[in-house]
Structure formats: C-alpha cells, structure tokens
Structure 1
Amino acid sequence: MSNTARQRSDQKTRSPGPGRPRTFDESAALEAALMVFWQKGYEATSLDDLTSAMGLSRSSFYAAFESKQALFRRALSHYSRNGLENLKDVAVSAKDDPVDAMMQALSNPQGGAKGCMLVNCITELAPHDEGVAEIGRRHLERIEEIFAEVLDPENPDAMRDRARALSSLAIGTLALRKAGYPADRIANTLKQVKVILPA
C-alpha cells in the first residue's frame, strides 16, 4: 500500500456495544475481511469466519458494518482505493515508460495466481449484485482515466479509447495467469501492445 493510501485508510472506527465503546482499526479490519472473502469466496464465508479474522464480536460487527453484504462492498471499495493509489504511484515513479509499468502492475496483482480480487468479483458477482457492479465500473473507469492522463496529460479525453484498450489487454492477462500460463508467456503477450496499439 502506498503512503498516501495508508494515510487515507488508516482511520479508527468506534463501534458501540455493551459497556465501554470499542475502538478498532477499520483499515486493518477490512484487510482481514478481504483475505477471508478472497480465500473462501463470498457465499462460503460465514459471519464467524469474518468476526474471528477481524477480531470483532458479533455486536461490534453489526454496529460497524450492518451486514455481510455491506461489509463485502466496503471491503471491495477499500481494495479499489488502495489499488488505484498504487497504480498512480507506479505511473509517477516509472519515468521512462509509465504505460509499460502500469501494464505490468495490472497483470501481476497482489493475489498472484488468484488474480485480482475486484476483477474476480466483477465476473462472478456483478451480474447479481448491482452494488458490486457499480464498484467495478468505477474502478475500471478510473484505471482508464489514469492511462489517459499518462498518455496525454494535456488532453486525456482524446486518449480514452486507447486507454480502454490498454487496460483491457492488461486485465485480460489475469485470465491467463489464473489458467496457469507461464510468466514469460504473459510477458510476451504484454509486449504485443506496441504492435497492436502503435503510438
């Protein structure tokens, strides 16, 4: 996580319950919930799984997050914010070829062979959950915007189609990764960008 993302998400949430209010780190709780959802899937994840991983009682859980579905959406939004901050950091730090650096970053997510948590959710849950679909749309649109801003800082709107093509290719390689394609084959796929989309 970048310093900016950490500063934005490092907040404390006060969860009322019996006796004295309980204070906990919301960012850490969302990270813990994400790992459980990622490992077990949404449907197979129980409330006991979540409260155990997050270190919360049931009363504190419901006071802070209301429901499993509401927590899931907040965890996805948290994942999206951090991922976009990291992608912007990659673009800024890669002076020579920021587009290539962003393509590499998108094709090699934190989840490795498990893929990108958000992309997984878009393909599996978005058709049945409008809240997840909306988070996914905003995430993908922001990736396009970052590409467009890198391609032409003066007129990013003119680069939106190209930016969409770049992000689609990079995110598409996640399916190759999950299918077990070797890393060198994925890298060679990304190199085709300059052939398919010449500058």
Structure 2
Amino acid sequence: MGRQREFDVDKALDAALCVFWRKGYEGASYTDLTQATGVERPALYSAFGNKEALFRRALERYYEHYLDFFPAALEQPTSLEVAAHILRGAVELSTRYPDRKGCLGIHGALAGSDDAEPIRCTLIEARATAETSLRERFERAKQEGDLPETANCTALAAFVMAMTHGMAVQAKAGFSRDVLEAVVEQALSTWPSKALDTLEA
C-alpha cells in the first residue's frame, strides 16, 4: 500500500496555478513550482504528472473558478449585455490580483518554444471554442431581432474576444482598471444594437 500523501492537493494546485498565471507556462520553473506549493518535485509529479499535466490541471481550475463570468454572460438577455458582461468581467479579472495581472490562458497562448506547442494549441482551441459559443449567442440575438440584419456575428464574436485578449496584455503591461474600463465603454458605445440606452453602466 502506497504512502499517504502529506499535502493538500487542492492547495498545491492553487499555488501552481498562481505561478503559471504570474510567469506563464514556460516561465514557471520546477523550482518556482516546488517552492510555491511546498511540495518536493517527486511528490508533486506523483500527484499531477509532469509539468504539462500540472499546467493542464491548473488551467481546468482556472476556467472553473475564474472564468465563470463567461458562461454567465451568454445568459444575459441582450447581445449588448452579453458583450458588456464579458468585457467588464475580463477587466475585473485581469486587474484583480496585483501579483498576477492579465489572463493565464491568453499569456500562455503567446509565443513559446516548440516544446510548449501542445500547450499553446490547447489554449488556442479553448479560445476558439469560446468564440464559437459567443458567435452562436449573437446569431440567436440576430434571429430575435436584438441585432440588426446587417450584423456580422462572426466579426462581433471575434471583436469581443480580441478586446479581452488585448486588455489582458495591457493589464499585464501596467494599464490601470480605470483605463481599461474606459476602453470597454468606448467599445460598447459602437455596438450595433437598438438597446444601447437600456444598459446601465
């Protein structure tokens, strides 16, 4: 019978998530991970597998605990409110923690080595899935008359996703929440909707 684990797996995973969020997948060293979790490398990888497997587990936790505003946004009654909920949620998350600004998924999908390509592809696929669900929501809004017939739902979904990505990069570069919130309001002011005046800031 194997020896019982002497550490809290959930706490270790949370600690590893914070390291990846702050430093990115490739920037997080084994030393960073063991120091943050307080778990020696053999025990850490016995529990989670290798670094890639640990990152994937951390990413699942990130989506579950930090990106819940996205599925909630899809339930909003109008397309404008959907976009507003996503963009404002992205600003809040990207500026919530001074020690790890931006978005774990977006930073991880940026340039990396060949060894990190599987991780980058996973993050790109996750973004594409989110964009597809957003496009489908906007198509429904168009059918319901919330968006004009001329609205390009594919472009609108790509626009919202591009805004979230850009703001995450800006937050990482030191842009304040106030500035990013102003960017959101500017973006929403151009929304092709008949209900602009119904959305409370």
- TM-score under structure 2 normalisation? 0.68
1:106 aligns with 2:77: no
Structure 2 residue 158 is the aligned partner of structure 1 residue 164: yes
The structure showing larger relative contact order (alpha-carbon pairs under 8 Å, at least 6 residues apart) is 2
Change (3 A) 1:44 1:135: closer
For residues 186 and 158 of structure 2, the distance between their equivalents in structure 1, rounded to whole angstroms, comes to 16
Q: Using the alignment, how far apart are the partners of 1:58 and 1:180 within structure 2?
A: 33
- Whether 1:68 and 2:51 are equivalent positions in the alignment is yes
Q: 2:167 corresponds to which residue?
A: 173
User: Which residue of structure 2 lines up, in the alignment, with residue 151 of structure 1?
Assistant: 138
Q: Does structure 2 retain, via aligned residues, the 8 Å contact 1:91–1:150?
A: yes
Counterpart position of 2:16: 33
Q: Structure 1 residues 131, 74: closer, same or farther in 2, change over 3 A?
A: farther
Equivalent runs, 1:122-137 vs 2, <5 Å: 122-125=109-112, 129-137=116-124
Q: Tell me the distance in 2 between the aligned counterparts of 1:43 and 1:181.
A: 24
Which shifted more, 130-139 or 76-85? 76-85
Tell me the residue number matched to 1:51: 34
Output the CA distance in 1 between the equivalents of 2:84 and 2:113.
29
Question: Alpha carbons of 1:63 and 1:176: their partners in 2 closer, same or farther (altered >3 Å)?
Answer: closer
Q: Percent identity?
A: 28
Residue 160 to residue 29, structure 1, CA distance change in 2 (3 Å): farther
By how many angstroms is 1:103 displaced?
A: 1.1
TM-score normalised to structure 1 length: 0.69
Deviation sequence 1:44-68 (CA, Å, 0-9, x none): 5443442343343433223223322
Aligned equivalents of 2:115, 2:68: Cα separation in 1: 28
Do 1:30 and 1:75's aligned partners in 2 also have CA atoms closer than 8 Å? yes
Decide whether aligned partners of structure 1 residues 137 and 82 sit closer, same or farther in structure 2, where only a CA change above 3 A counts: farther
SS of the residue corresponding to residue 129 of structure 1 reads: helix
> 2:102 matched to which residue of 1?
115
Q: Contact 1:110/1:116 (CA < 8 Å) preserved in 2?
A: yes
Q: Number of residue pairs matched?
A: 180
Alpha-carbon displacement from aligned partner over 1:115-143 (angstroms, at most 9, x marks no partner): 11211111143775222112211221232
Q: Which amino acid aligns with 1:109?
A: L
- What root-mean-square deviation, in Å, do the aligned CA atoms of Structure 1 and Structure 2 show? 3.3
The one-letter code matched in structure 1 to 2:117 is E
Q: Give secondary structure in 2 for the equivalent of 1:109.
A: helix
Structure with greater proportional strand content: 1
CA contact (8 A) 2:109 2:120 kept: yes
Q: Once the two structures are superposed, what CA deviation does each residue of 1:158-199 show, in whole Å capped at 9, x if it has no partner?
A: 733321111112321223323333433322322233454423
CA distance in structure 2 between the aligned counterparts of 1:173 and 1:39, rounded to whole angstroms: 16
| Contact 1:29/1:54 (<8 A) preserved | yes
Alpha-carbon distance between aligned partners in 2 of 1:163 and 1:43, rounded to the nearest angstrom? 29
- In structure 2, the CA distance between the partners of 1:58 and 1:187, relative to structure 1 (3 Å rule), is closer
Give distance in 1, aligned partners of 2:55 and 2:66: 16
